[in-house]
Structure 1
Amino acid sequence: SVPNARCNPSKYLAEDCGKTAQIALLVAGIVFGAMVTCVTCVVYQLLKRRSASIRTKRSTKRLLSEASCAVPFYSYREIDRATDGFSDAKRLGTGAYGTVYAGRLGDGPLVAVKRIRQRDNDAGLGCVMHEVKLVSCVCHPNLVRLLGCCIEQGHQILVYEFMPNGTLAQHLQRERGPAAMPWTVRLRIAAETAKAIAYLHSEVDPPIYHRDVKSSNILLDHEYNSKVADFGLSRLGKASLGDSSHISTAPQGTPGYVDPQYHQNFHLSDRSDVYSFGVVLVEIITAMKAVDLNRPPSEVNLAQLAVDRIGRGRVDDIVDPYLDPHRDAWTLSSIHKVAELAFRCLAFHSEMRPSMAEVADELDQVQRSGWAPSADDAAFMSTSSSICSSSAASTRGTDRSWGAGRSRTERERAAANSSAVQDQTAKDAAESPVSVHERWFSDRSSPSSNSLLGNRSQH
């Protein structure tokens, strides 16, 4: 057999070639099979994702239909294009639930795009649906309008009307605009905000408790009209149970604004929003932050600071010197009346606080009592609105509180400008049921001394 092998090498060569071809075919088959499997898996995942997206859209539309809320849907591609891929240059701000961007849908006007922070899909959808149902089913000129939503590819996005003049907080902290906001503009914003919250409490059934009333959630349009925003923490109250009605829920909100009684006993009511609005009124008067760790320890919490000063008849100690309260009798008198109202809103016991309807009515009366446009108002209102992108940049780069940095000398100088005006104001104050020039002796209606700094909301 050996000689035959030497004489016929082609036979073995042919056998080797055949085996090689078989191996090559086998490898090719395995590779092809693997490729087919991979493609099949990819297609399956894409179809599954698309099917889930379709089911989510149908489920969302069904929920909205059941709630009688007609809200337009936008595709993720439209939203992504409108915000330049959620560019940082378009970012307006970041909150507890997500980030807000400026955008333009097609050739339409600017809009505010709220991108909900990524979380469990069901939780994210629930968050969106909660806010959509609340905002789309109410109608008030001082509530921000919901223009649409996007629920696609695991993203939950809400589209709101764009507010070119930013937030009240930005103006009070001098983070936006070339000039300080005049008192008459601040008072009008306070009155409009109070009307919007009163509408939620009194004219909606069941009532809506906002739960996060603060100056950064009060948006301003091109004419500085107030628009209350961010209903992410809002809850439906109990209908037609009187002023004592409440719901039991874990305290949530922003430190410095949370109702101390709600913080202690977990009872949320319309008076919880009243307390938060009282803090906003103090911010409007003082231009100080609700919580500022740069202030002395006893003054970190603005509500406590205000109650102490107002209760001891020392309102002038905390008034924003930019307001020049002694310029005329009406300005000084109206500031003191609003300070007195804020004091009552900040009462520890909720039953001692006025309702938001009463607050709105009092602010309207103060506004009408002697207001007349001034040169300062005209100059302020004529200033052009900043572009949203530059506003976002300035907001990120500036974190200063005018109220925290001003000196006692400035306050004393402002307080000593006009003794004649003080006499007139004292006369007006004497006619008030509870004068801010008198010591407040009722411990029962004073805000809690407990710090709210540890009450950071959990989401």
Structure 2
Amino acid sequence: YTQTCFCFCFSSLQLMKEFDYEKLVTATDGFSPSRLIGKGSHGFVYEGLLHEDDKRHRVVAIKTPSLSPSSSSSSLFEKSEQMKKLENEINVLSSLPCSPHVLSFLGHAEKRLMVVEFMPNGTLHQLLHVSTTSPPTWLKRIEIALQIARAVHFLHEQGIIHRDIKSDNILFDSNWEPKLADFGLAAHLADEKRPAPAGTIGYLDPCYTCPENLSTRVDIYSYGVVLLEIVSGRKAIDVTRSPASIVDWAVPLINEGKSGEICGGGGSGVFLGTNLRLLRMAARCVSSDAESRPSAGEITAEIVLCLAGPLTLKSLPLWMSFFRGVVKLKRRRKRLRETLTWPGQTCHVR
């Protein structure tokens, strides 16, 4: 694993470069609508096809502020804010060592366009709330929760607060491995000037009311909301339900020991205890007492234990079958020994 990670890191570092702006425009067919793969308050994301030196092509994602021309002052201000977010994202990602749990940064063009790895399998939000296919298995859900916890732990070790952790910002690569993305709001804890509170309603820590309150606990709260989403399959905010907030709905049920109502029965018996542990961890993450929230390292360790539990239990039938066979063999040997042994004789059955 160490060797693989080293090679991956080396390759990523080689690709962190400044691209030619016009080549990126060409790579997206002039920002063709047919190449648009994502959009929001952050701007637009396009699928791009880069021509490499050895005549190979590489599919990447190219992020840009909104390209819609407008002369209104409000639109110009919005575009300026998008540019600031994009420049901040470039600065943050370029400062980070590589991680298998964070979207890989490949480079930029004049800090006006950003190039990152292409993630073809959409977002966690789409997987949980939009996809018409079968929901992810309980084991896959735990694995997703673990990978994102590791991403948050990695960022916090680097002194980075993401500030916008949500299911829409968790993307899946071609192997369905989740990665944390969208660092437009990310902040360095070491910076003397703290940014104004920001985030997404439903995921935003209610304790984060002023710049001075910025800490790792802000991300932990948002992660807790995502964890509740993963286990329950319910949206962070759903105005068709009461209460609309997943936190306001789930935490009382967790405190009352009604975890089955949150995860639809909890899946198979193997995962009942695991889901209860995950829900208790989620409740700690979204606690109104910010000081009592666990660190990302604690969360990671707990989920590793949760993941080990089902895997161990899953393999029990095989071991039970093995031991049952051993017991039966010993009984057969004993009966055979009794059958073949005459009074005063000793019979050795191997």
The TM-score, its normalising length taken from structure 1, stands at: 0.58
Cα–Cα, structure 1 residues 126 and 100, in superposed 2: closer, same or farther, change >3 Å?
same
* C-alpha separation in 1, matches of 2:26 and 2:228: 41
Which one-letter code corresponds to 2:101 in the other structure?
N
Q: Which amino acid aligns with 2:287?
A: A
Residue 370 to residue 92, structure 1, CA distance change in 2 (3 Å): same
Structure 1 pair 247/369, CA: closer, same or farther in 2 (3 Å)?
farther
Computing the radius of gyration from Cα coordinates, the structure with the larger value is: 1
Q: Secondary structure at the match of 1:260?
A: coil
Which of 89, 96, 104 is equivalent to 2:41? Answer: 96
248-257 vs 186-195, which deviates more?
248-257
TM-score normalised per structure 2: 0.76
* Partner SS, residue 47 of structure 2: strand
Distance of 2:91 and 2:46 partners within structure 1: 22
Pick closer, same or farther for the CA change 1:125–1:282 going to 2, 3 Å: closer
- Residues 373 and 172 (structure 1), Cα distance of their counterparts in 2 relative to 1, 3 Å cut: farther
Q: How has the CA–CA distance of structure 1 residues 265 and 126 changed in structure 2, closer, same or farther, with 3 Å as cutoff?
A: closer
Higher RCO (CA-CA < 8 Å; seq separation 6+) = 1
1: CA distance between counterparts of 2:176 and 2:155?
A: 21
Across the two proteins, how many residue pairs are aligned to each other?
288
1:325 is aligned to 2:280 = no
Q: Equivalents in 1 of 2:245, 2:23: separation in Å?
A: 43
Query: C-alpha offsets along residues 287-307 of structure 1, whole Å, 9 cap, x if unaligned?
Result: 1111111112xx111111111
Equivalent residue letter for 1:76: Y
Of the candidates 15, 31, 36, which is equivalent to residue 86 of structure 1? 31
Query: 2:57 maps to which residue?
Result: 108
Residue 338 (structure 1) aligns with: 278
Is the 8 Å Cα contact of residues 291 and 300 (structure 1) preserved in structure 2? yes
Aligned to 1:406: none
Q: Deviations over 1:339-371 (max 9, x none)?
A: 010000011121010111111111111111232
Distance 1:210 1:293, change over 3 A: same
**Cα separation, 2, equivalents of 1:373 and 1:161:** 37
Give the 4+ runs in structure 1 shifted more than 4 A. 118-126
d(CA) in 2 for partners of 1:131 and 1:351? 28
SS in 1 for 2:136: coil
Distance 1:292 1:90 in 2: 30
> What SS is found at the alignment partner of 1:105?
strand
**Most deviating of 257-266 and 180-189:** 257-266
Within the alignment, does 1:220 sit opposite 2:220 as a pair?
no
Match of residue 170 from structure 1: 126
Deviation for aligned residue 1:265: 7.6
Query: 1:310–1:340: 8 Å Cα contact kept in structure 2?
Result: yes
Pair 1:313 & 2:257 matched: yes
Paired with 2:195 and 2:22, the residues of 1 have a C-alpha distance of 38
Q: Which amino acid aligns with 2:141?
A: R
In the alignment, residue 88 of structure 1 is paired with which amino acid? Answer: P
CA-to-aligned-CA distance 1:41-71 (integer Å, 9 cap, x gap): xxxxxxxxxxxxxxxxxxxxxxxxxxx9983
Indicate if the aligned counterparts of 1:91 and 1:101 stay in contact, CA closer than 8 A: yes
Q: Work out which of the residue numbers 209, 225, 228 in structure 2 matches 1:279.
A: 225
Structure 2 match to 1:198: 153
Which amino acid is the alignment partner of residue 347 of structure 1? S
Aligned to 1:364: 304
Q: Is the 8 A contact 2:196 2:211 kept in 1?
A: no
* Residue of structure 1 equivalent to 2:215: 269
* Contact map agreement 1:69 1:137 (CA 8 A) in 2: no
Cα distance change, pair 308–353 in 1 and its aligned pair in 2 (3 A): same
Report deviation, 1:179. 2.1
Q: What displacement does 1:129 show?
A: 3.2
Which one is further off, 186-195 or 104-113? 104-113
Deviation at 1:80, TM superposition (A): 2.1
Deviation at 1:144, TM superposition (A): 0.4
User: Which ranges of structure 2 fall in alignment gaps of 5 or more residues?
Assistant: 1-12, 68-75, 315-350
Quickly say closer, same or farther: Cα 1:260–1:122, change in 2 above 3 A: closer
Q: Quick check: 1:69–1:136 contact (8 Å CA) kept in 2?
A: no
Shift of the alpha carbon at 1:84? 2.1
Match of 1:91, as an amino acid? L
Aligned to 2:320: none
In structure 2, the residue matched to 1:135 is 93
Structure 1, gaps ≥5 residues long: 1-67, 240-245, 375-459
Work out the CA distance in 2 between the residues paired with 1:183 and 1:309: 20
CA distance in 1, matches of 2:312, 2:28: 42
Q: What is the deviation of 1:151? A: 2.6
Q: Distance in 2 between matches of 1:181 and 1:358?
A: 25
Structure 2 contact 254–280 (Cα < 8 Å) conserved = yes
1:252 maps to 2:210:
no
